[in-house]
Amino acid sequence: MSTATKGTVYLVGAGPGDPKLLTLRGKELLEQADCVIYDRLANEVILEWAPQAKLFYAGKRAGNHALIQEDINRLLVEQAKLGRIVVRLKGGDPCVFGRIGEELTALNAENIPYEIVPGVTAGIAGSAYAGIPVTHRHVSSSVTFITGREALNSQSQGTLVTEGTLVIYMGMKTMEDMVAKLREAGRKDDTPTAVVEWATHPKQRTVTGTLATIAAICAKEDIGSPSIIIVGEVVRLNKNFAWFGENLP
C-alpha cells in the first residue's frame, strides 16, 4: 500500500453505487484518511472502509441545509491546513458533472497539494449494467455526456442531433421537455431510448422505449432519480445483452 500524505486532498470517485466499483486506489486512501467529506450519491457502505476517519456530510438531505460550494471549499482547505489526510468522496467520477473545478481552484489558491482518483461514472456504469455498450461497431462510434439542463438549452442543438449515443445525467425532472427538444432538433420519434434507475444497485430498473414513448413509460413505472437516460441505436442491444437488475417493460 502506498502511503497517503498529510495535508493532501484526495478527490476520489466513489463509483455509481456498487461499492466494489470503487478503485483500489480509492479504497487504500479511505483506509488512511483522517477525514472524509462525502456527497449524497456516494454509497455510504463505502464509508465502512474509513472507520477511523472523521466524516463530514456535504450533500443535500431533506430538512437539512446543504453545505454550499464555498463551505465545502473552505472545509477542504481548513482540514488540509490542519495537516490531515483529506478524502473528498464524490459519486461516480469526480470530473464528470462533479463541480470539481471549483474545489481545485480553491486548493490551488492556497497551494494545497491534491490527487484526483477517477471513478466509474454513472453514464458508463449504468449503460454497461443495462447491457447497452455506449459504442458499437456500425451502430454508434461516439458518445456524448450531457446534463438535462444542457439538453434543454437551444444553444446545444448541434449536440442533440449527433448520430452518436447521448447519455443524459440529471434529466428526469425535465424529461418531457427534453424529449420534445430532441425531436425538434431532428432526432426521430422512433429513436431507441432507455432509462436506468439506481444503476448497479440491487434495485436497478431499466425501461426501454422510443423518444416518443419513454416519458409515458417512466411515468407508468414510476421511474425517478437517480437515473441516466440513454438515447440512440445502441439501446436496442439491451434486448440481447441485459444481464443485471429488472428490465421493463
Catalytic residues: 39, 60, 170
- What's the CA gap between 147 and 124, in Å, rounded? 14
Choice from 11, 85, 196, 211 touching ligand SAH (CB under 6 A): 196
CB 52 within 8 A of CB 70: no
Binding segment toward ligand SAH, per CB under 6 A, in 78-86, 89-97, 130-138, 153-161:
89-97
131 lies in the site for ligand SAH, by CB under 6 A: no
Please state the closest distance from residue 59 (CB atom) to ligand SAH, in A.
11
Torsion of CA 218, 171, 134, 26, to 10 degrees: -120
Choice from 29, 132, 198, 247 touching ligand SAH (CB under 6 A): 198
26 lies in the site for ligand SAH, by CB under 6 A: no
232 lies in the site for ligand SAH, by CB under 6 A: no
96 lies in the site for ligand SAH, by CB under 6 A: yes
Classify residue 212 as left (phi > 0), alpha (psi -120 to 50) or beta. Answer: alpha
Binding segment toward ligand SAH, per CB under 6 A, in 28-36, 53-61, 63-71, 120-128:
120-128
How many residues in the chain?
249
The three grid cell numbers given for residue 155, joined into one nine-digit string: 444553444
Instruction: Report the residue number, 32 or 204, with the smaller CB distance to ligand SAH.
Output: 204
Give the torsion sign (CA, 78, 54, 59, 22). Answer: positive
Q: Which residue is nearest to ligand SAH (CB)?
A: 92
Choice from 225, 239, 243, 246 touching ligand SAH (CB under 6 A): 225
- What's the CA gap between 162 and 245, in Å, rounded? 29
The three grid cell numbers given for residue 219, joined into one nine-digit string: 411515468
Burial class (CB in 10 A: 0-12, 13-18, 19+), 207: buried
Binding segment toward ligand SAH, per CB under 6 A, in 51-59, 78-86, 108-116, 224-232:
224-232
Q: Cα separations (Å) of 97 from 18, 36, 174, 198, 241?
A: 19, 20, 17, 17, 28
Choice from 50, 77, 106, 122 touching ligand SAH (CB under 6 A): 122
User: How many alpha carbons fall within 13 Å on the CB side of residue 141?
Assistant: 2
The DSSP secondary-structure symbol of 107 reads H
91 lies in the site for ligand SAH, by CB under 6 A: yes
Instruction: Report the residue number, 12 or 77, with the smaller CB distance to ligand SAH.
Output: 12
92 lies in the site for ligand SAH, by CB under 6 A: yes
150 lies in the site for ligand SAH, by CB under 6 A: no
Taking CB under 6 A as the criterion, which residues in 34-53 touch ligand SAH?
41
Binding residues (CB under 6 A) for ligand SAH: these are 16-17, 41, 90-93, 96-98, 121-122, 126, 169-170, 196, 198-200, 225-228
